[in-house]
Structure 1
Amino acid sequence: MSRSLALDNICLRPARSWGHTEYSLNYHKEFLAKRTGLVPEDADCLKRAYDRFRFDFLFVNNDGLVAWDKGRLTDMGHADYAADGSDQRPPRPCPFSTPEEVWAFDAVEEYGLPDFNEQVAAYENQARLLRNTYPNQLCTGGYYKT
């Protein structure tokens, strides 16, 4: 497992192999506990599993740094990845009725702009935390609001 291997893959540099990528193993807490010997609530359970399974690359994203509690919102729903299906949710109805409404949509007017410096600091902190928590893996960052 290697952060540098994952980075070589992303940069399309010659590498000894393709990096092993993890997308959603954190949904399977009991499986992780069995494979690591730790209880699911242990803060090191996920880190130990990523190292044990020799992951190079962790696909990580978030829903943004703003509270999505105002304005029109879409939600495609979420498939069930957790063994018990607890993460599944149905899609919400589309808040737009016509294509013209979509084209007229102004996100800045609807939600406002987050403070740039606060946003930079928050993403830098998130990247630093991921690097420190998972030193053997390359972690993505980014926004993915469905």
Structure 2
Amino acid sequence: MPPKVPRTEYSPQFLWELLNAVTGSRITAESSQTERETAGNRFVKEWDYGMFWSILTHSQVLEECRTKMGHAEYASEGSDRCDEVECPFEDPDDVLALDPWAVYGERNHATLVEEYNDHYATLRQRYPDTVNMTGIYVSLMSGLIEILAGT
């Protein structure tokens, strides 16, 4: 048993008021990606994460055909808000006719292994004091939800 309970968080790096209060930074929606990453790295260190949760593959692999239902504001200053609403399907027959292999294509196994290894190595370098991970967030269920109902 470790001497302390390990800690992880899933998205405070998008809550700039909290990030700024903890790190002393002045991050806003106009801050550069590098500035946000630097402050986020300091935040992880200050809050003493035991594990840094991260995935490489999310819904971007479904962009060729997916439903979009918009997204409410979560991140500071509403930077993640999306009012885009669209559905690629006219009726249930369109859904049944979807051929995922034809639409999304095949991914090269060696390329995937290299991408995940690189992502993991980057996280280990960025957060050396935490347990790191990489992976995919599009499972059979979440992928179908993304394709048919959107987020």
Asked whether the two chains share a fold, i.e. TM above 0.5, the reply is yes
How far 1:39 sits from its partner (Å)? 4.3
TM-score between both structures, scaled by the size of structure 1 = 0.70
Count of paired positions: 132
Please list every run of 5 or more consecutive structure 2 residues that lacks an aligned counterpart in the other structure.
28-34, 139-145, 147-151
Q: Tell me how large the CA RMSD over aligned residues is.
A: 2.9
How far 1:119 sits from its partner (Å)? 1.6
- In structure 1, the partner of 2:24 is 37
Greater strand share, structure number: 2
- In structure 2, the partner of 1:27 is 14
Residues 29-67 of structure 1: CA deviation (Å, up to 9, x unaligned): 343133212343264321111121122122222445977
- In structure 2, the partner of 1:111 is 104
- In structure 1, the partner of 2:55 is 61
Give the direction of change, closer, same or farther, for the CA distance of 1:137–1:79 in structure 2 (3 Å limit).
Answer: farther
Given residue 78 of structure 1, which amino acid in structure 2 is its aligned partner? H
Please list every run of 5 or more consecutive structure 1 residues that lacks an aligned counterpart in the other structure.
1-13
User: For 2:45, which of 47, 51, 56 is the aligned residue?
Assistant: 51
Give the direction of change, closer, same or farther, for the CA distance of 1:74–1:50 in structure 2 (3 Å limit).
Answer: same
Equivalent residue runs for 1:61-140 within 5 Å: 61-64=55-58, 71-90=64-83, 92-140=85-133
TM-score between both structures, scaled by the size of structure 2 = 0.68
CA distance in 2, matches of 1:19, 1:99: 46
Residues 54-81 of structure 1: CA deviation (Å, up to 9, x unaligned): 2212222244597765x32233543322
CA distance in 1, matches of 2:126, 2:42: 11
How far 1:124 sits from its partner (Å)? 0.7
Given residue 28 of structure 1, which amino acid in structure 2 is its aligned partner? L
Identity of aligned residues (%): 28
Report the 3-state secondary structure (helix = DSSP H, G, I; strand = E; otherwise coil) of the residue aligned with 1:80: coil
Greater helix share, structure number: 2
